[in-house]
Structures are given as C-alpha cells and as structure tokens.
Amino acid sequence: MSTTTLAQPFDTTTLNEVRKTGVLIVNLGTPDSPSVPDVRKYLRQFLMDERVIDIPYLNRWFLINLIIAPFRAPKSAKVYKQLWRPDGSPLKTYGYSVKDKLQKVLGEEYVVELAMRYQNPSIEKALTALRKECLTEIIVVPFFPQYASASTGSVYKEVMRVVKDWEVLPEIRFVNRFLEHPKFIQGFVDLGKKYMAQHDYDHFVFSYHGLPERQITKGDVTGHFCQFGSCCDKLDHRNQHCYRAQCFETTRLLVKGLGIPEGKYTTCFQSRLGKNPWIKPYTDEVIPELTKKGVKSALAFSPAFVADCLETTIEVGEEYKEMFEKEGGQHWQLVESLNDSDIWVECLEDIIKNPAA
C-alpha cells in the first residue's frame, strides 16, 4: 500500500448514511388478558423480581407462588376486567400509540421499540429487534418519572441481563428520571387546569405508588440522611436518588405550575402490600383525615404514572372516590395520565435528543 493511499482522508459518507439510534421505551407491564391464568402469570413474574419484593429467594418463592398468586389472581382478574377496553389493556394500547407517534417525530435516524418489564412485549424481544438494526447507540427510557430500584432499577438490570452476552455492544444510555422536565410537568399542569376551570376544589391530592421503607433506607448511600420526614423537603445531592424525595419534589413543581396555595395539597402514597411499613402518609388514611377537616371536593393526581392503568383508573379514580364519598366528601375527580398526548411525545423527543434535558 502506497503512502499516497494512506494519506487519503477516510470517507465517512457511507457511515453517516446508515448511522441510527435505537430507542427502547419501557413501561411496567400488564397481563396479556384479564383471565385468571394470565393475571396469575403476570403477578408471578412481577412479584418474583427481587427488586420488587426484596426478601430471600425461597421466602419470596413460597410467598408469591403459594399465597399471593393463587389467592390474589382471581380478585385482580375481576379488577382488570373493569379496566380492559375493546382494544386491550390501556397501558399497552397507549404504549403502542406513543411508540408510533415518537417514531414519526424522531424520523428515520431512530428506531423505536416498545417493551414491558413484565410480560409482553418483553425487553428481550425488543432488544433483539433493535440488535438487527446495526445501531450506533441505544437509549433506554423507562416510563417512570421518579427513579426507584423496583421500577427503573429493575429495567436497567433486565436490559443488562439481555445484552451481557452480545459480542458487539453499541453505546447504551439509560434515562434515570424525568420528573423535572418542563414538558412532563406542563402536561399534568394542563390537565389539572382543565378540571380546575370546571370546579372549585377544596384540596389537591398527589398520590404516588408506595414502596417499603426498607427499600428507601437501603438506597440511602450516606447511611444516615434518610429520616422519612423533613429530609424530603428539598432534593439535593444527598437524596437525589431517593424515590420519596423525588415524589415530594414532583408535587412541589406541580403545585407551583398549578398555583395551588400552601395548606391545600397533600403528597401521599398508595398500593401498599403486606404488613411491613411502607412510605407515608398512606393515601387511604389521608382521605378520611381530609373529610374530617371539612374537605368536600378534591382533585387527585397520580404523577408516578405516565399511562392510565389499574393503579390510576381503578384505585385512585374509583376506589378512592368511593372512600371519599363514604367519609362525607362530595366530589372526587381523578386527573388522567399523560397517556399518548402530544406534550408527552414532545417530552420524550426532547429527552432522547437532548441528554442534558
């Protein structure tokens, strides 16, 4: 080979023409159908995750397979039947809609795949499809606004399990959280203002999915900062990865955007399981306290979810409404999730294209 040949510049035209970025959007998951067998299968996979129920394997196996799945599946199946729509699970339906909209706005330089952490479409299936695209980079976007080991952390772990044996690994970027993103906040603010224009609410409830306190404590790398109290009054370098602190920060940002005065809102946590202490205050204990104080109308948000599901539509929208009215309340209104709204797709586009966002 001559020195003249070596001196010629490398032609990057072909490389630039085929350079593509993969985008893996991931939500928690849903049963394939509201039938008891499918719900039981979903519960077993979900609850056997060591990041969800963080107890020794054998204890977890016996608890899930001999107690929770057999007895809870029939009850949960009835609730899923209430939630189910003609086109299937709302969480999955909105997921596919967001995938299609996001692919359209991102263009040909990106390949978007949808996955569920539990059940279908699986993370493994989605990553296998992306692998065939000769990608330069894969961006993983868990659909959880606040980081938690049981949600975002579990997605990270499953992605790494799938790719660990790939001979060639493209660059992989994980999105840790997006609670502070202006478009995420504005999306819920816009929805809230729609209902506030229709009714004068006495109080505003921000209900987040709960976690066992032990998981929050385990995540405190300082070993002493977490006190389950005023430590969550501000989000800083010490508690930046604390799920509880992130939830309170989300509420503060939404309250500011909605113009809600102090004393008229509450941050609380729902969906606890078992007898061990979960992060407080509990939503089902907050509701009777509010009605005792004379609250007659409440607007409820579920900002830990970007798509409506059992925990939003049924638990907050129906069960808590029934509880509120039973305790003397008159008007309980759930603010729907971002679902497949344009502002949510715009938020994702910005997260993907602008890492600093």
- Give the residue numbers of the binding site for Fe(2+): 209, 311
Alpha-carbon 324 to chain mean position: 26
Pairing verdict, β 137-142 and 203-209: unpaired
Q: What is the sign of the dihedral through the CA atoms of 344, 254, 83 and 154? A: positive
CB 281 within 8 A of CB 268: yes
CA–CA distance, 56 with 52 (Å, rounded to integer): 12
CA–CA distance, 96 with 60 (Å, rounded to integer): 32
Paired tokens of 291: 């009605």
Cα angle at 268 between 237 and 356, to 5 degrees? 35
Closest among 78, 69, 38 to 318, alpha carbons compared: 78
Secondary structure of 62-129 as H, E, C letters: HHHHHHHHHHHHHHHHHHHHHHCECCECHHHHHHHHHHHHHHHHHCCCEEEEEEEEECCCEHHHHHHH
CA–CA distance, 337 with 191 (Å, rounded to integer): 8
Q: Cite the annotated binding site by residue number.
A: 209, 311
CA–CA distance, 270 with 279 (Å, rounded to integer): 9
CB 205 within 8 A of CB 300: yes
Q: Is 267 helix (H, G, I), strand (E, B) or coil?
A: strand
